[in-house]
Amino acid sequence: MDSSKSVRGETSIKIPESNSGKHKSIGAAKVGASVGGGGWQRGVSIFDFILRVCALAAALGATAAMGTTNQRLPFFTQFSQFQASYNDLPAFTFFVVANAITSGYLVLSLPFSIVAIVRPHAAALKLLLLIFDTLMVAFTTAGAAAAAAIVYLAHNGNSNTNWLAICQQFNNFCQRVSGAVVASFIAALILIFLVVLSATALRSH
């Protein structure tokens, strides 16, 4: 009993010497699992926060670009309406809703990301962010892919189904919509990277 106690005492003295005095050492097992991991975990959390802000910017940009697009034509065509906006096509409406929800989630997740920076060993928090990030990956990708399919059709048309390209008439509309789709795919890519980053951080806990 005495010899084991002396060994424990030696370990707790050694910790401040090895430049890892920042994280609290509760037990010998915990210290063994996370030696040198505190700084790395914090770095990953800071990177996570920065990426989250970038994804928010991309998702907000996509929502705004699609939501405010509204082209009124100066001349008469065969269309009954002379105006093109996102709510003419259900896929574009879904795109706006999906990107708005992703933006909202990303805003709400920022405080949690800050908590993860302050407390690098909060594994449950990282797991929660990872789960919701994965859901948002699927959601954002679905919105972007649905809109991309319709934008492709608007640009090129389809002779097999007699669907004509409308981008000759609504050129400005098509360009803004294409930009919004690209921004949404960028947001989805950043979210995928966030999931991978969180998983790597969880593995080293």
Contact residues toward its own copies (CB under 8 A) are: 3-4, 7, 27-29, 32-33, 78-81, 84, 88-91, 123-124, 126-127, 130-131, 134-135, 137-138, 141-150, 152-154, 158-164, 166, 188, 192, 195-196, 198-200, 202-203, 205
| Nearest-approach distance from CB 7 to its own copies, in angstroms | 7
| Nearest-approach distance from CB 25 to its own copies, in angstroms | 13
Q: Residue 177 class from Cβ within 10 Å (0-12 exposed, 13-18 middle, 19+ buried)?
A: buried
Helix 37-68 vs helix 123-156: crossing angle, to nearest 10? 30
| Nearest-approach distance from CB 172 to its own copies, in angstroms | 16
| Nearest-approach distance from CB 195 to its own copies, in angstroms | 5
Please name the helix (run of DSSP H) or strand (run of DSSP E) that holds residue 70, with its range, or none. strand 70-72
Distances (CA, A) of 31 to 13, 34, 38, 70, 124: 13, 5, 10, 59, 18
Q: In the complex with its own copies, which residue's Cβ is closer, 2 or 17?
A: 2
| Nearest-approach distance from CB 35 to its own copies, in angstroms | 10
User: In sequence order, what DSSP letters do the residues of 14-46 get, joined into one string?
Assistant: HHHHTT--SS----HHHHHHTTTHHHHHHHHHH
Ramachandran quadrant class, 19 (left: phi over 0; alpha: psi -120 to 50; beta: rest): left
For residue 185, the SS3 value is helix
Q: In the complex with its own copies, which residue's Cβ is closer, 19 or 160?
A: 160
